[in-house]
Amino acid sequence: MNPVRNLNGQINNMELQKLKISNGVKKQENNFAYIDGANLHKGIKSLGWQLDYRVFRRWLEQKYNIEEVYLFIGLVPKHKDLYTFLQKCGYILVYKEVTYDGDGKVKGNCDADLVLNVMRDFYERNLKEAVLVTSDGDYSSLVTFLKEKGVFRALLSPSNSCSFLLRKLNIPIVYLNVLQGKLATRVQKEKAPGADESAQGSLS
């Protein structure tokens, strides 16, 4: 057997296997969504309906080709079942240690954590497209930065009264209320554990 011919045959087989593997692997798009959990929960609640988080995660993937969805929430240990449910739905949870005011109300502002996460993804992970879920004008500087860099895809506003600081930026804005028919939970469907109470406590 000719050793050169045999070696060439092995190389060709290796290249063929590499081609098959590359064709079977989904290309990384680096499209990420970032959710202000408290803002999302309060915004939807003010509209009088409940968000189906499983359906919402799937919709983000189908609509914007989102690979990773980061949900920034306050960490309240008693809501661990809810956190487990959200993780099973495909969310990457980023916890913020909470504090309590004089009335015992939970306080856990995640703004700085969300901004830091986005900037890290941009500089270290080659962020291609970003979707932001919030109505809070405090994120206007972040959105301006992402827009200037050409990686901002859309703002999803949980509230119909999205901040003017965001609206004036001339960016694509989708009001989630118009998608209620697609994204709302159904009474007959199984809900997240303790959805009515736990969601409020953990996402606020």
Q: What is the three-state SS of the chain?
A: CCHHHHHHHHHHHHHHHHHHHHHHCCCCCCEEEEEEHHHHHHHHHHCCCCECHHHHHHHHHHHHCCCEEEEEEEECHHHHHHHHHHHHCCEEEEEEECEECCCCCEECCCHHHHHHHHHHHHHHCCCCEEEEECCCHHHHHHHHHHHHCCCEEEEEECCCCCCHHHHCCCCCEEEHHHHHHHHECCCCCCCCCCHHHHHHHHCC
CA-nearest of 15, 32, 11, 31 to 23 is: 15
Residue 14 lies in a domain: no
What pLDDT, on a 0 to 100 scale, did the predictor assign at position 21? 40
Question: Edge to edge, what strands does the sheet with 173-175 contain?
Answer: 91-97, 68-75, 31-36, 129-133, 152-157, 173-175
Residue 181 lies in a domain: yes
pTM of the entire structure?
0.78
Residue 102's region, left for phi above 0, alpha for psi from -120 to 50, else beta, is alpha
Name the pLDDT band for 26 (thresholds 50, 70, 90): low
Q: What percent of the chain has pLDDT over 70?
A: 73
Residue 20 lies in a domain: no
**Which residues form the domain of 52?**
28-202
Q: Does 143 score more than 70 pLDDT?
A: yes
What pLDDT, on a 0 to 100 scale, did the predictor assign at position 76? 87
Residue 64 lies in a domain: yes
Place of tokens 């830091």: 116
Domain count, the chain: 1
Residue 94 lies in a domain: yes
Reported as a single tens digit per residue, the pLDDT across 76-112 is: 888 899 999 999 999 999 998 877 766 666 666 789 9
Q: Do strands 106-107 and 31-36 pair parallel, antiparallel, or not at all (unpaired)?
A: unpaired
Mean pLDDT of 28-51: 94
Q: Does 189 score more than 90 pLDDT?
A: no
* CA–CA dist 36, 112 (Å, integer): 11
* CA–CA dist 54, 65 (Å, integer): 16
Residue 73 lies in a domain: yes
Q: What percent of the chain has pLDDT over 90?
A: 66
CATH of the domain at 65: 3.40.50.1010
Residue 48 lies in a domain: yes
| Residue 155 contacts residue 147 (beta carbons within 8 Å) | no
Q: Does 59 score more than 70 pLDDT?
A: yes
Reported as a single tens digit per residue, the pLDDT across 147-159 is: 999 999 999 999 9
Residue 17 lies in a domain: no
Mean pLDDT of 120-148: 97
Q: Does 17 score more than 70 pLDDT?
A: no
What pLDDT, on a 0 to 100 scale, did the predictor assign at position 188? 31
Name the pLDDT band for 193 (thresholds 50, 70, 90): very low
Query: Comparing 35 with 100, which gets the higher pLDDT?
Result: 35
